[in-house]
């Protein structure tokens, strides 16, 4: 089995469905170009049947973005597939992604159809999609809560119909890593023609387990991962592209998988998404958060100044972050204050450093963070107002008169 993971980015489809993350056509095209520079294998550009604007956005991306496969989502409805086929027509490489729910809960309560209706619709959709492209993906919505026997029957039939990728989503983020691993192993073992398709994981983050579940699926045989920049998506979001990619790089000993991602483009992609949507990334978000490579604690700062490997398992430059940051706050140590002053071109005597350090801590107690402007003002105050004490001659002590047991004892 190949150790190469296919990165299926759905930032422009599932990600954009999250409240507050909607983008205009020109913004989608701009982000798609950044995704191509990042090196994703597949860009799911949208859901063409959802609106005329969505269909036009997919067509614009299919026309102007080269490199990745361009995918469009479609329900197992003829009109959806025809609209996706039209939108994707200009692409050099295109994929139609059809889906239908397979869990009894969704079939009975949402779609109000039988299992046989579901199976017939899935097979018909794959046949229709193949008239537009040989690259057809099928997703079994709510796969992880579906009856295993029925799910395996559907998968076998869609592969026989010509589906080349089978996606098994944890649609509501309900599973745990051990369950996902057992689930994928069972499917791959029970579907007779499973070797004729690539299996894909699409995990949601409702319990904060999307990345862990995705990596568990990979360990069990999935070779496509569906993810988004900054982990955006419906409800709590999707598996984060940056976390998946960097986990495979940092822990190649446990996850010996490669991708085509240019990691140096990760941070620029994150920043562009933030700029386009106006939705910031949480400060402590792994890889791309403001604090991901920031250090305030004095012990950490001291270790970083001596050898960055003491507190960093990856270099910020690897993901496009300019450099690690030693944040001056109430937990900072003297070494960090001295280093930041040196970086600002300021040389301090030992006494001045002590005064500046105490002022920095006092300021941080009030304001939490000490900016470069704050530090410059503190330094100016110390250097401009403190007078070194006059040197007063010290008389030579009369050691003979000093009582025994006193003097320079420890």
Q: Are residues 189 and 122 in the same domain?
A: yes
96 and 143: one domain? yes
State pLDDT tens for residues 327-347.
Answer: 677 777 788 888 878 877 888
For residue 221, give every residue at least 6 positions away whose Cβ sits within 8 Å of its Cβ, in sequence order, or none: 1, 184, 185, 188, 199
pLDDT(298) > 70: no
Question: Inter-axis angle of helices 334-343 and 372-385, to 10 degrees?
Answer: 90
Residues facing residue 219 across a β-bridge: none
The answer to whether residues 232 and 362 belong to one domain is no
d(CA 90, CA 385): 70
Q: Using the predicted structure, report yes or no on whether residue 57 has a pLDDT greater than 70.
A: yes
Q: What is the pLDDT of residue 91?
A: 98
The answer to whether residue 395 is domain-embedded is no
Looking at the fold, whether 227 and 138 belong to one and the same domain comes out as yes
Instruction: Say how many domains are in the chain.
Output: 2
The pTM (predicted TM-score) of the whole model is: 0.81
Q: Are residues 259 and 182 located together in one domain of the fold? A: yes
Residue 15 pLDDT exceeds 50: yes
| In a shared domain, residues 299 and 243 | no
Considering the domain architecture, whether residues 191 and 337 belong to the same structural domain is answered as no
Query: For 263-297, what is each residue's pLDDT tens digit?
Result: 999 999 999 999 999 888 888 899 988 777 766 56
> What's the pLDDT at 283?
84
271: CATH: 3.20.20.70
**Residue spans of alpha helices (H) in 289-393:** 298-306, 334-343, 350-367, 372-385
**Is 223 a member of any domain?**
yes
pLDDT of residue 40: 98
Determine, yes or no, domain membership for 371: yes
Would you state the pLDDT for residue 247?
A: 98
Same domain for 347 and 380: yes
What pLDDT is stored for residue 20 in this prediction? 85
283 within domain boundaries: no
CA distances from residue 219 to 7, 143, 173 in whole angstroms, order as listed: 15, 18, 18
Residue 227 has pLDDT above 60, yes or no: yes
Same domain? 266 vs 300? no
pLDDT, averaged across the chain: 89
Backbone angles phi, psi at 37, to 5 degrees: -65, -35
Banded model confidence at residue 94, pLDDT cuts 50, 70, 90: very high
Q: Say whether both 339 and 264 belong to one domain.
A: no
Query: What domain range is 51 assigned to?
Result: 6-277
125-165 pLDDT, tens digit per residue, is 999 999 999 999 999 999 999 999 999 999 999 999 999 99
Is the same domain home to 102 and 180?
yes
Residue 199 CA, chain-centre distance (Å), reads: 21
Distance of CA 212 to the CA centre of its chain: 12
Does 245 map to a domain? yes
Share of the chain above pLDDT 90, in %: 68
Nearest-angstrom CA–CA distance, 64 and 148: 41
Determine, yes or no, domain membership for 193.
yes
- Which is higher by pLDDT, 185 or 283? 185
Buried b (16+ CB within 10 A) or exposed e, 251-269: eeeebebebebebebbbbb
Instruction: Give the pLDDT band (50/70/90) at residue 72.
Output: very high
Residues 122, 151 contacting (CB under 8 angstroms): no
Q: Are residues 378 and 229 in the same domain?
A: no
Spacing of C-alpha 221 from chain mean position: 22
Residue 323 has a pLDDT of 66
- Measured between alpha carbons, how far is 204 from 231 in angstroms, rounded to an integer? 9
Q: Which of 277, 302, 332 corresponds to the end of one domain?
A: 277
Do 243 and 286 meet the contact criterion of CB atoms below 8 Å apart? yes
Confidence of residue 118 (pLDDT cuts 50, 70, 90): very high
Asked whether residue 79 is domain-assigned, the answer is yes
Structural domain includes residue 1:
no
Q: Radius of gyration (Cα) for the chain, nearest Å?
A: 29
Residues 232-269 pLDDT 10s: 999 999 999 999 999 999 999 999 999 999 999 999 99
Looking at residue 373, its pLDDT comes to 81
CA pair distance 193, 203, nearest whole angstrom? 24
CB 283 within 8 A of CB 230: no
**Pairing of β 42-46 and β 224-227:** unpaired
């Amino acid at each position: 089995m190949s150790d190469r993971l296919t990165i299926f980015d759905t930032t422009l489809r599932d990600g954009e469905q999250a409240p507050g993350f909607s983008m205009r056509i020109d913004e989608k095209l701009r982000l798609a170009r950044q995704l191509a520079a990042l090196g994703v294998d597949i860009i799911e550009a949208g859901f063409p049947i959802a609106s005329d604007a969505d269909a036009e956005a997919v067509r614009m991306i299919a026309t102007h973005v080269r490199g990745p496969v361009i995918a469009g989502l479609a329900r197992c409805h003829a009109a959806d597939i025809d609209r996706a086929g039209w939108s994707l027509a200009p692409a050099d490489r295109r994929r139609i992604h059809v889906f239908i729910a397979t869990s009894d809960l969704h079939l009975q309560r949402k779609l109000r159809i039988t299992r046989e209706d579901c199976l017939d619709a899935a097979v018909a959709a794959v046949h229709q999609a193949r008239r537009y492209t040989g690259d057809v993906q099928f997703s079994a919505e709510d796969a992880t809560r579906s009856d295993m026997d029925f799910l395996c029957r559907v998968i076998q039939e869609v592969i026989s119909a010509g589906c080349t990728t089978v996606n098994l989503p944890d649609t509501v983020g309900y599973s745990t890593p051990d369950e996902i691993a057992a689930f994928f192993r069972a499917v791959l073992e029970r579907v007779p023609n499973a070797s004729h398709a690539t299996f894909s994981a699409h995990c949601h983050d409702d319990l904060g387990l999307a990345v862990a579940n995705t990596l568990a699926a990979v360990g069990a045989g999935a070779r496509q991962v569906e993810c988004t920049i900054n982990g955006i998506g419906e409800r709590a979001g999707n598996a984060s592209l940056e976390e998946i990619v960097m986990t495979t790089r940092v822990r190649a000993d446990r996850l010996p998988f490669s991708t085509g991602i240019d990691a140096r483009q990760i941070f620029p992609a994150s920043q562009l998404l933030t700029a386009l949507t106006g939705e910031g990334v949480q400060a402590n978000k792994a890889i791309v958060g403001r604090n991901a490579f920031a250090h305030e604690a004095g012990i950490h700062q001291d270790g970083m100044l001596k050898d960055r490997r003491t507190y960093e398992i990856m270099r910020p430059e690897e993901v496009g972050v300019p450099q690690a940051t030693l944040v001056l706050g109430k937990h900072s140590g003297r070494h960090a204050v001295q280093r930041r002053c040196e970086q600002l071109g300021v040389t301090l005597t030992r006494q001045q450093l002590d005064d500046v350090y105490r002022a920095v801590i006092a300021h941080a107690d009030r304001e939490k963070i000490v900016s470069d402007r704050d530090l410059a003002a503190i330094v100016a105050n110390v250097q401009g107002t403190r007078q070194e004490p006059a040197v007063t001659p010290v008389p030579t002590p009369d050691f003979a008169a000093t009582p025994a047991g006193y003097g320079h004892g420890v």
